[in-house]
Chains A and B, each alone.
Chain A
Amino acid sequence: NAGVTQTPKFRVLKTGQSMTLLCAQDMNHEYMYWYRQDPGMGLRLIHYSVGEGTTAKGEVPDGYNVSRLKKQNFLLGLESAAPSQTSVYFCASSYTGSSEAFFGQGTRLTVV
């Protein structure tokens, strides 16, 4: 029972480099989310999707892009990484926006 799987688990980037984080869920959930977690800040919503082919901005979307081409996958892209994007990124999914969210194990990203 995989649930929500994030790849990679760790990554170090140089400033200006690009990368894509992949999130996959096997629960047939409509909603998927990307959060970032920083010390003392809790979890802040970057982008989310309410179904295949849809995306929407969250609280802190600048510097990130997302795509949901398939229902089970939600990709988070950084086009030009900055040190301020050093964080732990969590993907989550849920049936609806008001139901329990299931989280992946996180991706620790360091931008130097």
Chain B
Amino acid sequence: AQSVTQLGSHVSVSEGALVLLRCNYSSSVPPYLFWYVQYPNQGLQLLLKYTTGATLVKGINGFEAEFKKSETSFHLTKPSAHMSDAAEYFCAVSSNSGYSTLTFGKGTMLLVSP
């Protein structure tokens, strides 16, 4: 069984400030972890993913995330927020075990103010 918890349904930052979106997972097997972004009235697109290897993963648009097994976390960060980063962000977990599927968190809406 696997699950994802995203802390905070809404996060507000000022333009230029650090973005930190929190994700904790639960998985009985080694996890594969993903962050997706959804802009208004659009589908989801992949920001970054962790499968194996380096625990610090870099993605598109300056985002990165670090897999911390001891904390069962995969938090998403960006050093400096831009107005165009305003969107909903979803953390998801799957695994390389059997017919695994993606399980999503409930999402965090990122609001960026000037």
Contact = CB atoms under 8 A, between A and B. Distances in A.
Contact of A43 (B49, B51, B90): B90
Interface residues of B, number: 26
Interface stretch (A13-21, A65-73, A100-108): A100-108
B29 to A, nearest CB: 10
Chain A, interface residues (CB within 8 Å), range: 20 to 34
Contacts of B36: 103
Contacts of A48: 101
B114 interface: no
Contact of A98 (B41, B94, B106): B94
A105 B42 contact: yes
B105 to A, nearest CB: 6
A40 B106 contact: yes
B9 A42 contact: no
A104 B44 CA distance: 8
A105 B44 CA distance: 8
A58 B99 CA distance: 12
Query: Which of B34, B44, B51, B101 has its CB near the most chain A CB atoms (within 10 A)?
Result: B101
Contacts of B45: 103
Contacts of A41: 106
Interface of B: 9, 32, 34, 36, 41-46, 49, 51, 90, 94-96, 98-107
Interface of A: 4, 31, 33, 35, 40-45, 48, 50, 56, 58, 90, 92, 97-98, 100-101, 103-106
8 contacts: A35-B104, A40-B9, A45-B102, A98-B95, A98-B100, A103-B43, A103-B44, A105-B43
